[in-house]
């Protein structure tokens, strides 16, 4: 998969150092993935939440942080839309970010 906006991840882990290793691992794994459907995502990440508008929510650092991505399966592209704490996540509309 092609991942757009790795910079967003780097900026986040600069503020939240404990998230660096899990986010880097997620990035490498997803970069080498070939997701064709939401079922492909769930097969590897059963704890991920598939939400409307082709968005997927991943739990990072044992669910301390939330990563929201927009997946365009036909183009094999993942767009990072949001990374933040649970409190920050609760203030967004996940289907709109």
For the chain, the structural domain boundaries read 2-85
Q: Is the pLDDT of residue 81 over 90?
A: yes
CB 3 within 8 A of CB 78: yes
pLDDT score of 96 more than 90: no
- What average pLDDT does the segment 59-85 reach? 96
Q: Kindly report, residue by residue over 7-65, the tens digit of the pLDDT.
A: 999 999 999 999 999 999 999 999 999 999 999 999 999 999 999 889 999 999 999 99
Q: Please, what CATH class does the domain formed by 2-85 belong to?
A: alpha beta
């Amino acid at each position: 998969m092609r991942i757009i906006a790795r910079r967003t991840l780097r900026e986040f882990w600069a503020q939240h150092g404990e998230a660096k290793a899990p986010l880097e691992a997620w990035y490498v794994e997803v970069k080498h993935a070939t997701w064709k459907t939401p079922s492909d995502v769930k097969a590897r990440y059963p704890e991920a939440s598939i939400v409307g508008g082709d968005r997927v929510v991943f739990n990072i650092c044992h669910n301390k942080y939330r990563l929201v991505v927009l997946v365009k399966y036909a183009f094999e592209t993942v767009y990072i839309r949001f990374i933040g704490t649970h409190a920050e996540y609760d203030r967004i509309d996940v289907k709109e970010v």
